Amino acid sequence: MDPRDDTTTDDAIIQVRGLVNRFGEQIVHEDLDLDVRRGEIQGIVGGSGTGKSVLMRAILGLRAPDAGTIQVLGHDPQSGRASDRIAIERNTGVLFQDGALFSSLTVSENVQVPLKEHHDLPDRLREELALLKVKLAGLPADAAAKLPSQLSGGMRKRAGLARALALDPPLLFLDEPTAGLDPIGAAAFDDLIRTLQEALGLTVFLVTHDLDTLYAICDRVAVLADRKVLINAPLQEVEAFDHPWVQEYFHGPRARAAQDTARRQPPAKD
């Protein structure tokens, strides 16, 4: 099957070519290509076990792929050179599924970790900047002094987002940002991501299962199935794509509900 990939442009902020990931006998990705365009919210969907998180981990350099090349912001995460690693670390922010906050540090200290590691700032300024990020992520100021265990699941996600934004990275990775949130919280989180994306000019790599999120904020959606990217295109095109999984996913009862919601409240797209 020829992936209908119309994004092969020079403006790709992430470029994956011929990626192969294997776990023993089990092949997760085979010859996978993907381009993520600058300034877009790129959704990644796929059934369980299609390797969405594995793809993200490979792009972040957390997992060495078995074959293929990856370029993130013009750097190769697998090169082993410290300069590439640092460039990627400084220019990407990652929100892990459960926030992955350091449990022994307060929210404010969590946000300060990357600032401390990469920049030499006066303590006072660093604290101010951390507080700014905490509030930008939609948390009240008094949450900054709390430990992650004192926060609810939704607040932990926001705190994780604040930490991901600490260095003002141009590229943001979100792994299932709305999983485990109530619908109102999830919708608010979608809005927050859209707002921040516009304000900070971010490119967002968004792994999700949440149809509402797809319809509300994604510019472009890549479908992972059969070990590769089936299609990477705006939602209308993806919906029309002829593949059993895609049809079932986008035309099941849950998808119709999400489509209805999206139609009633058109996303705040520019």
- Closest approach, Cβ 19 to another protein, in A, equals 12
- Closest approach, Cβ 67 to another protein, in A, equals 13
Cβ closer to another protein: 74 or 252? Answer: 74
Cβ closer to another protein: 257 or 268? Answer: 268
The residues, any chain, with a CB within 8 Å of residue 269's CB and separated by 6 or more, are 219
Cβ closer to another protein: 10 or 25? Answer: 10
Cβ closer to another protein: 104 or 265? Answer: 104
Cβ closer to another protein: 51 or 68? Answer: 68
Angle at the Cα of 133 from the Cα atoms of 131 and 137, rounded to 5 degrees = 120
Q: How many CA atoms lie within 13 A of 95 on its CB side?
A: 31
The answer to whether the CB of 67 falls within 8 A of the CB of 61 is: no
What tokens were used for 31?
């010859």
Shortest CA distance to 240 belongs to which of 263, 259, 260, 268? 259
- Closest approach, Cβ 200 to another protein, in A, equals 6
What tokens were used for 30?
């085979």
Residues that bind another protein (CB under 8 A): 10-13, 15, 17, 38, 69, 71, 73-76, 103-104, 108, 115, 119-122, 124-125, 127-133, 135-136, 141-142, 144-145, 147-149, 167-168, 195-196, 198-201
What tokens were used for 139?
């948390």
Q: How many CA atoms lie within 13 A of 12 on its CB side?
A: 19
The runs of H, that is alpha helices, within 38-182 are 52-59, 82-91, 107-118, 123-136, 153-164
- Closest approach, Cβ 192 to another protein, in A, equals 10
- Closest approach, Cβ 77 to another protein, in A, equals 12
**How far is it, in rounded angstroms, from Cα 89 to Cα 77?**
10
- Closest approach, Cβ 227 to another protein, in A, equals 21
Cβ closer to another protein: 76 or 237? Answer: 76
